C-alpha cells in the first residue's frame, strides 16, 4: 500500500453493546461475567481457568453497557455516519454477535411510529434503521433541494437471496418458483456485486420507509430457540440510496449519490445449547458457516494475506466493499453479560477486536451530470423493456438444459479462474505496494540524506566561519602575548630596581637593628640598676620595719615597766599615805619629776621617730626620681627604635 493510500485509509469503527439480563437469567441468578466501562471504552470478561479467576480486557471505539438507551448509541456513533452518507460516501452498519444478544433490537427496534405528536415522533426503543431514516429525511427537508431516495430490503437464508420488498401478489403466485430459483448475485464490473431482479422502492417520506421496513421484517424467517423466542434465522440487508441535486457556480446540475447499508446478521449459536433440531440445526449450520467465512475474511484482512475468501459465502460477497473496500464501515458487536454465554461472548469480542484493524479506503462517490444520469436511466428502461418483450413474446434466446448447465459450469470455472487471477493480481498488487513502500522509503531515506548533507554543509560553513574567527582570535592572542611579554620584561626591570632598593634598605635596617640591640642592652642595664635599687629600698624598708617593731616592743615594755613602777609607787604611797603626809608630798614631787622625765623621754622618742620618717621619705623620693629618670631614658630609647 502506497503512502497516499495509507493516508486515505481508515480503520473499521467497532462498537460494543452489552444487553441487560433477561428475565430467565434474573430468575436463575446467572453470574455476571462481562463488565463495561463506557468512559474508558473497555470491556472486561471474567473467566475461571484452572481454579484461577482471570480478567480479559478489550478496548473498542465506543462501549455501551446494559443501561445504554437506543438514543445514546445512535447519537454518539451513528449520526456522523449518516451525515457522511449525505456527503456522498457509501457507509455500512452491521450488527454482529450471538443469537439473543439484541442485534435486531439494535438495528430495528420498534419500527412503528408513535401515535403522539403531530409529526409522528419515534418511540424510545426505535433502532438504528428508523432513526437513520428520520435523520436523512429531516436533513434533506432542511436543505430544501431536489432529491430522490430508494430502498432495497433483501434476506440471505441458507445461502439464498430473497427480496423482502417483492409485491405481495407476485409473491403469492410464484412462491414455489421463487424458492426454487432465488435471486442471483452478480459482479457489477467495478469490484462490487449486485442482486439481479431486486426491487428498488422509491420513497418520499419516513412513513413509506417504515411501512416497507415493517412489511419486509414480517417476511423474515424467525423461529423460537432456547436462547431467543424470536430468533432471526437469516441475514438481512436494508439499503438506502440517496440522490441529491446540486448546482455548480457555472449553473451546471450535478447529482450527488450516497448509500447506506444497514445489515442485521443472524446470530451465531451453539446448536446443543440452542436446542436446534433437524431443519433448525441445518439452518444454524448454514448461519455459522457464513459467519465463519466472515471471520476468515476478517482474519485475512487483518493479517494482510494475499487471498481473501470473499467468494466462499454470499454474505461476504455482499459485504466485500464494506470490509477492506471503499466504504466506511461500522460494526456493532452485541454480547450477553451472563456466564452461560461466556464462550460465544469471548468469540464475538475476539472477532470484533480483530476487526478494528481492518483498513478501508473510503472514497466519495463521483458526482454525475444530470444528463448522464438521465441517459443511463433511459438505457436501463430500454433494456428492461427488451427483457419484458422477450419474456412475453418468447423471442429471446432459449437453449437446452444440458447446454445451459455446461455453460453455467464453464461460467463457474471462469469465475474460479477470475478469482484465482484476482488473488494473483492482489498478490502482485501487494508486491507492487511493497515495492512502492520500499521506493517511498528509499525516497524518504534519500530525502533524509539530502537533509543530512545540507545540514552537514551548513555545519561545515559554520565550522569554516568558526575557524576563521579562531585564526583572528589566535592572531590577537599572539599580539596580546607579545604585549604581555613586554610588560613582564618591564616588570622584571622594576623588580630588579626594587630588589636593589630592598638591599639598601636591608643594610639600613640591620644597622638600625644593631642600634636597637645596644639600646636594649642599655635598657637592660637600667632595668638591672632599677632592680638593685628596688632591692636596696626593699631591704631598707624591711630593716626599718624590723627596727620600728623592736622600738615599738621596747616602748611597750618600757611603758609596761613604768606602769608597773607607777602601780608599785601608788601602792607604796597608798600604804604610806596615812602615816606620812610629808613623805607623800615628797613622793608627789618625785612622781612629778618622774612624769616630767617621762614626758621628756617621750618627746625625744617622738623626735627620733619623726627624724627616721623624714629620712625614709627623702630616700623614697630619691628612689622615685631615679625611677622616673629610668622611665624617661626607656621612653627615649623606644622612640629612637
283-317 per-position pLDDT tens digit:
556 666 778 888 888 888 888 877 888 888 888 88
Q: Determine the Cα–Cα distance for residues 528 and 431; give it in Å rounded to an integer.
A: 123
Residue 282: closest CA among 157, 96, 154, 175: 157
Q: Determine the Cα–Cα distance for residues 107 and 129; give it in Å rounded to an integer.
A: 6
Which DSSP symbol is given to 108?
T
The mean of the pLDDT values for the chain is 80
Q: Determine the Cα–Cα distance for residues 432 and 306; give it in Å rounded to an integer.
A: 12
Stretch 93-113: mean pLDDT: 81
404-430 per-position pLDDT tens digit:
666 677 777 777 777 777 777 777 788
What residues form DSSP beta bridges with 262?
A: 93, 238
Range scoring the smallest mean pLDDT among 145-154, 328-337, 366-375, 422-431: 366-375
Angle between the N-to-C axes of helices 128-143 and 79-86, in degrees from 0 to 180, rounded to the nearest 10: 40
65 is in an annotated binding site: no
Q: Determine the Cα–Cα distance for residues 181 and 183; give it in Å rounded to an integer.
A: 7
Q: Computed from CA positions of residues 156, 157, 161, 164, in that sequence, does the dihedral angle turn out positive or negative?
A: negative
Q: Is 440 helix (H, G, I), strand (E, B) or coil?
A: helix
Q: Determine the Cα–Cα distance for residues 582 and 588; give it in Å rounded to an integer.
A: 10
Residue by residue, DSSP assigns 124-151 as TTB-HHHHHHHHHHHHHHHHT--EEEEE
Q: Determine the Cα–Cα distance for residues 91 and 321; give it in Å rounded to an integer.
A: 10
Residue 618: closest CA among 540, 550, 551: 540
Per residue, what are the HEC states of 224-275? CCCCCCCEECCEEEEEEEEEEEEECCCCCEEEEEEEEEEEECCCECCHHHHC
98 is in an annotated binding site: yes
Range scoring the smallest mean pLDDT among 65-74, 242-251, 329-338: 242-251
- pLDDT (0 to 100) of residue 284: 58
- pLDDT (0 to 100) of residue 58: 93
Note if the pTM is more than 0.85.
no
Q: Is 21 helix (H, G, I), strand (E, B) or coil?
A: coil
Domains of the chain with bracketed CATH: 71-193+203-334+349-365 (3.40.850.10)
101 is in an annotated binding site: yes
100 is in an annotated binding site: yes
251 is in an annotated binding site: no
240-256 per-position pLDDT tens digit:
999 998 877 777 788 88
144-178 per-position pLDDT tens digit:
888 999 999 998 888 888 888 887 654 444 444 44
14-63 per-position pLDDT tens digit:
999 999 988 888 888 888 889 999 899 999 998 888 778 888 999 999 99
109 is in an annotated binding site: no
Q: What percent of the chain has pLDDT over 90?
A: 15
Residue by residue, DSSP assigns 546-569 as HHHHHHHHHHHHHHHHHHHHHHHH
190 phi and psi angles, rounded to 5 deg? -120, 20
Q: Determine the Cα–Cα distance for residues 560 and 217; give it in Å rounded to an integer.
A: 164
Which DSSP symbol is given to 197?
T
197 is in an annotated binding site: no
Please provide the size of the chain in residues. Answer: 641
Residues with Cβ within 8 Å of 580's Cβ and at least 6 positions away in sequence, in order, are: none
Radius of gyration, CA atoms only, the chain: 66
295 is in an annotated binding site: no
Angle between the N-to-C axes of helices 128-143 and 206-219, in degrees from 0 to 180, rounded to the nearest 10: 160
- pLDDT (0 to 100) of residue 522: 86
pLDDT band at residue 115 using 50, 70 and 90 as cut-offs: very low
Q: Determine the Cα–Cα distance for residues 34 and 43; give it in Å rounded to an integer.
A: 7
Amino acid at each position: 500500500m502506497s503512502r497516499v493510500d495509507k493516508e486515505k485509509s481508515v480503520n473499521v469503527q467497532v462498537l460494543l453493546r452489552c444487553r441487560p439480563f433477561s428475565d430467565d437469567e434474573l430468575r436463575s441468578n446467572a453470574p455476571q461475567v462481562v463488565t463495561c466501562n463506557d468512559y474508558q471504552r473497555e470491556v472486561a470478561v471474567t473467566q475461571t481457568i484452572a481454579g484461577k479467576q482471570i480478567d480479559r480486557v478489550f478496548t473498542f471505539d465506543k462501549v455501551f453497557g446494559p443501561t445504554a438507551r437506543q438514543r445514546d448509541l445512535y447519537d454518539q456513533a451513528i449520526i456522523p455516519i449518516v451525515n457522511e452518507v449525505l456527503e456522498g460516501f457509501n457507509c455500512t452498519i452491521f450488527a454482529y454477535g450471538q443469537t439473543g444478544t439484541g442485534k435486531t433490537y439494535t438495528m430495528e427496534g420498534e419500527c412503528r411510529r408513535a401515535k403522539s405528536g403531530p409529526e409522528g415522533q419515534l418511540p424510545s426503543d426505535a433502532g438504528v434503521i428508523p432513526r437513520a431514516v428520520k435523520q436523512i429525511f429531516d436533513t434533506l427537508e432542511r436543505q430544501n433541494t431536489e432529491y430522490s431516495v430508494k430502498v432495497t430490503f433483501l434476506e440471505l437464508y441458507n445461502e439464498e437471496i430473497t427480496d423482502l420488498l417483492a409485491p405481495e401478489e407476485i409473491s403469492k403466485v410464484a412462491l414455489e418458483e421463487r424458492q426454487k430459483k432465488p435471486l442471483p448475485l452478480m459482479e457489477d464490473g467495478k469490484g462490487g456485486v449486485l442482486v439481479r431482479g431486486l426491487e428498488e422502492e422509491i420513497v418520499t417520506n419516513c412513513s413509506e420507509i417504515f411501512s416497507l421496513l415493517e412489511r419486509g421484517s414480517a417476511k423474515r424467517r424467525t423461529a423460537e430457540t432456547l436462547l431467543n423466542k424470536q430468533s432471526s434465522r437469516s441475514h438481512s440487508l436494508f439499503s438506502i440510496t440517496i440522490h441529491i441535486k446540486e448546482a455548480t457556480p457555472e449553473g451546471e446540475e450535478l447529482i450527488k449519490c450516497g448509500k447506506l447499508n444497514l445489515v442485521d446478521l443472524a446470530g451465531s449459536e451453539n446448536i446443543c445449547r440452542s436446542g436446534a433440531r433437524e431443519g433448525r440445526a441445518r439452518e444454524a449450520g448454514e448461519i455459522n458457516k457464513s459467519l465463519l467465512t466472515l471471520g476468515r475474511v476478517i482474519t485475512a484482512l487483518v493479517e494482510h494475506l494475499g487471498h481473501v475468501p470473499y467468494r466462499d459465502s454470499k454474505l461476504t460477497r455482499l459485504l466485500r466493499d464494506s470490509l477492506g473496500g471503499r466504504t466506511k464501515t461500522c460494526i456493532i458487536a452485541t454480547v450477553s453479560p451472563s456466564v452461560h454465554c461466556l464462550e460465544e461472548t469471548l468469540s464475538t469480542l475476539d472477532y470484533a477486536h480483530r476487526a478494528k484493524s481492518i483498513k478501508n479506503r473510503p472514497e466519495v462517490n463521483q458526482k454525475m451530470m444530470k444528463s448522464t444520469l438521465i441517459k443511463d436511466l433511459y438505457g436501463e428502461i430500454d433494456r428492461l423493456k427488451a427483457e419484458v418483450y422477450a419474456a412475453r413474446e418468447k423471442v429471446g434466446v432459449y437453449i437446452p438444459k444440458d447446454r445451459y448447465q455446461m455453460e453455467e459450469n464453464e461460467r463457474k470455472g471462469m469465475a474460479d479462474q477470475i478469482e484465482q487471477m484476482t488473488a494473483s493480481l492482489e498478490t502482485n498488487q501487494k508486491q507492487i505496494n511493497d515495492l512502492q513502500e520500499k521506493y517511498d522509503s528509499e525516497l524518504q531515506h534519500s530525502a533524509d540524506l539530502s537533509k543530512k548533507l545540507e545540514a552537514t554543509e551548513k555545519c561545515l560553513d559554520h565550522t569554516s566561519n568558526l575557524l576563521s574567527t579562531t585564526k583572528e582570535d589566535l592572531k590577537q592572542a599572539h599580539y596580546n602575548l607579545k604585549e604581555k611579554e613586554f610588560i613582564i620584561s618591564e616588570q622584571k626591570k622594576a623588580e630588579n630596581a626594587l630588589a636593589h632598593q630592598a638591599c639598601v634598605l636591608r643594610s639600613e635596617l640591620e644597622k638600625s637593628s644593631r642600634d636597637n640591640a645596644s639600646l636594649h642592652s642599655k635598657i637592660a642595664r637600667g632595668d638591672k640598676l632599677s632592680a638593685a635599687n628596688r632591692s636596696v629600698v626593699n631591704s631598707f624598708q624591711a630593716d626599718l620595719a624590723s627596727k620600728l617593731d623592736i622600738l615599738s616592743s621596747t616602748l611597750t615594755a618600757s611603758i609596761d615597766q613604768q606602769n608597773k613602777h607607777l602601780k608599785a609607787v601608788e601602792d607604796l604611797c597608798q600604804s604610806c599615805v596615812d602615816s606620812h603626809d610629808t613623805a607623800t608630798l615628797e613622793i608627789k614631787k618625785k612622781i612629778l619629776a618622774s612624769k616630767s622625765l617621762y614626758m621628756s623621754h617621750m618627746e625625744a622618742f617622738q623626735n627620733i621617730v619623726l627624724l627616721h620618717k623624714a629620712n625614709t621619705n627623702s630616700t623614697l623620693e630619691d628612689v622615685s626620681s631615679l625611677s622616673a629618670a629610668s622611665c624617661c631614658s626607656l621612653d627615649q630609647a623606644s622612640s629612637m627604635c
